[in-house]
């Protein structure tokens, strides 16, 4: 597991070029503090990993696809994700 310090990676002073700016910063910004930027980034990562509809897997969220996959692989009672 890689742990990244978002304060170093997403330092507001280092985001000078539009191509370097993460999507959540363009939509939700400007941010007054690094903490606001970090929270928005973490919220976007959570949405990206759990809630977005992904075209490669039939326009379902990744968590639903993963649950269906494991239910098919191991049809015993599976815990409900969440």
**Number of domains the chain is built from:** 2
Q: Half-sphere exposure of residue 82, counting CA atoms within 13 Å on the CB side? A: 4
Give the residue numbers spanning the domain of 69.
Answer: 54-82
Q: List the one residue out of 56, 77, 52, 80 whose CA is nearest residue 67.
A: 80
10 and 46 inside one domain: yes
65 and 78 inside one domain: yes
Over its length of 82 residues, how does the chain's per-residue pLDDT go in tens digits? 445 555 555 555 554 445 555 565 556 667 788 888 888 889 988 998 888 998 889 999 998 998 889 888 887 766 676 6
pTM: 0.50
Six-digit token string for 49 = 């990993």
42 and 59 inside one domain: no
Six-digit token string for 18 = 């539009």
68 and 82 inside one domain: yes
């Amino acid at each position: 597991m890689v742990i990244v310090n978002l304060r170093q990676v997403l330092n507001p002073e280092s985001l000078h070029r539009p191509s370097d700016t993460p999507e959540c910063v363009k939509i939700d910004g400007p941010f007054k503090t690094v903490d606001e930027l970090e929270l928005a980034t973490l919220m976007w990562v959570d949405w990206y990993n759990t809630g977005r509809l992904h075209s490669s897997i039939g326009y379902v969220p990744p968590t639903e696809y993963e649950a269906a996959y494991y239910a098919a692989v191991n049809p015993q009672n599976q815990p409900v994700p969440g």
